C-alpha cells in the first residue's frame, strides 16, 4: 500500500533525535521517512504493519526501521473510545545515515553495523535477552545530558543489534516499496475502512468502492501494494484481533470466532492454524499458562 511521507524534523544542532510518545493512541497512518528509526513500545497494544508484514504489538515491542520502509502502528479499538483512559507510550529514536559523516559506516571496523543498516530496510524486530539489554540502553537515553554520551549510547545499541541472532526481519524480500505520495490518501482510506469494518466482512465491491476503483483494478492495485490478496489481508486482520481476545481470556473460543467476523467455527480454526501455526486452544494455552495461578483448595 502506498505510504504517507512523514517528515522527521531532526534538530540541526543535534546528531539525532529522541522522542518520548505519550498519546491516547499511536499515529494511525501508513507512513515512511528518510531517517532510520528505533521504536520501543512502553505501553499499548494493537497491530503493527511493516512493508508486507502484519503482527500484533504490545509493551516491550522493539523494532529498528531502515530509511523509507513504510510502517504503521494501529492501536486496538479500546484506545479510540472517547471515555478511554488507556495510553500509548513509546521511546522513538531517529537518526540520519550520515549523522557521523558520509563515510563513517564504510570503514572496516563498522562492517557489522553496515550489514545491520542494510537489513533494516525490511524492519528488524528484536527478541529475548537481547531485547531486554537493548531496552535498558534505550531507556537510559534521557539520563544523559551530554551529547557525546548519547552518541556512545546509540553506537552501543547499534553494536548490540548487529552482534545478535535474536531478531527477525519483518518485511519479505519480495515486498516492492512504494514511496510515491500520489495515492497514499486512497490506501489510507481503504486501510481505515477495513480496520473499522472487518467484523462485518466487507465485500470486494464495498472496499473497491471506497478506493473508487473497479473490483478487477482494485484487486491488482491492492496486491501490488500489500503483497497479499484482499481475502488474505482481511483474514490476517481478523486473526490478529482474535489473538488479542484469546489472550484477554474474557470470551470462549467459539465467542472469539464470531466476535472477529468468522461465520463458522471450522473455518475459524483452519484460518487460525494456517496463519498462526497453532490452533486457537493451543495458542491460548501457550500464552495464558504463565499468567494463570494454580488452584488453592
Residue 109 and residue 220 in one domain: no
Q: Which domain covers residue 223, as residue numbers? A: 184-288
Residue 148 and residue 194 in one domain: no
Domain CATH number, residue 258: 1.10.10.60
Distance between CA atoms of 16 and 96, rounded to whole angstroms? 7
The residue assigned the cell 510515491 is 180
Residue 33 and residue 110 in one domain: yes
Residue 127 and residue 160 in one domain: yes
Pairing of strands 71-75, 62-65: unpaired
Residue 106 contacts by C-beta under 8 Å, 6 or more apart in sequence?
114
In b/e form, how buried is each residue of 228-257, taking b as 16+ CB within 10 angstroms?
bebebbbbbbbbbbbbbbbbeeeeebeebb
Residue 189 and residue 165 in one domain: no
Tens digit of pLDDT per residue, the chain (297 long)? Answer: 444 555 555 555 566 888 899 999 987 677 888 899 999 999 999 999 888 888 999 999 999 999 888 888 999 989 999 999 999 999 999 999 888 888 899 999 999 999 999 999 999 999 999 999 999 999 988 655 677 888 889 999 999 999 999 999 999 887 766 555 656 678 778 888 998 899 999 999 999 999 999 999 999 988 888 888 999 999 999 999 999 999 888 999 999 999 999 999 999 999 999 999 999 999 988 877 554 434 433
Residue 15 and residue 99 in one domain: yes
Residue 110 and residue 13 in one domain: yes
Pairing of strands 31-32, 4-5: parallel
Pairing of strands 46-50, 71-75: antiparallel
Secondary structure (DSSP) of 97-164 = TTTT-TTGGGSGGGHHHHHHHHHGGG-EEE-HHHHHHHHHHHHTGGG--SHHHHHHHHHHHHHHHHT-
Distance between CA atoms of 37 and 60, rounded to whole angstroms? 16
Amino acid at each position: 500500500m502506498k505510504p504517507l511521507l512523514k517528515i522527521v524534523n531532526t534538530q540541526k544542532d543535534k546528531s539525532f533525535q529522541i522522542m518520548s510518545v505519550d498519546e491516547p493512541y499511536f499515529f494511525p497512518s501508513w507512513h515512511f521517512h528518510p531517517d532510520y528509526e528505533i521504536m520501543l513500545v512502553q505501553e499499548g497494544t494493537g497491530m503493527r504493519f511493516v512493508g508486507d508484514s502484519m503482527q500484533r504489538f504490545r509493551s516491550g515491542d522493539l523494532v529498528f526501521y531502515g530509511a523509507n520502509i513504510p510502517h504503521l502502528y494501529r492501536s486496538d479499538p479500546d484506545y479510540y473510545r472517547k471515555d478511554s483512559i488507556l495510553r500509548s507510550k513509546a521511546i522513538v529514536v531517529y537518526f540520519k545515515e550520515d549523522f557521523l559523516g558520509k563515510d563513517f559506516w564504510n570503514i572496516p571496523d563498522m562492517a557489522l553495523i553496515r550489514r545491520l543498516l542494510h537489513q533494516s530496510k525490511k524492519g528488524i524486530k528484536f527478541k529475548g535477552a537481547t531485547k531486554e539489554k537493548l531496552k535498558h540502553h534505550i531507556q537510559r537515553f534521557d539520563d544523559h545530558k551530554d551529547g557525546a554520551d548519547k552518541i556512545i549510547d546509540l553506537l552501543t545499541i547499534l553494536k548490540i543489534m548487529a552482534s545478535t541472532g535474536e531478531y527477525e526481519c519483518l518485511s519479505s524480500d519480495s515486498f516492492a516499496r512504494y514511496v510515491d505520495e500520489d495515492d497514499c490518501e486512497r490506501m489510507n482510506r481503504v486501510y481505515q475502512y477495513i480496520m473499522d469494518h472487518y467484523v462485518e466482512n466487507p465485500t470486494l465491491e464495498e472496499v473497491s468502492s471506497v478506493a473508487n476503483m473497479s473490483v478487477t483494478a482494485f484487486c491488482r492495485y491492492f496486491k501490488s501494494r500489500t503483497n497479499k490478496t484482499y481475502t488474505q489481508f482481511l483474514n490476517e486482520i481478523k486473526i490478529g484481533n482474535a489473538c488479542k481476545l484469546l489472550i484477554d481470556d474474557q470470551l470462549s473460543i467459539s465467542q472469539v470466532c464470531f466476535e472477529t467476523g468468522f461465520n463458522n467455527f471450522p473455518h475459524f480454526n483452519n484460518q487460525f492454524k494456517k496463519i498462526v501455526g497453532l490452533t486457537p486452544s493451543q495458542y491460548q494455552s501457550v500464552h495464558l499458562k504463565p499468567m494463570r495461578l494454580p488452584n488453592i483448595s
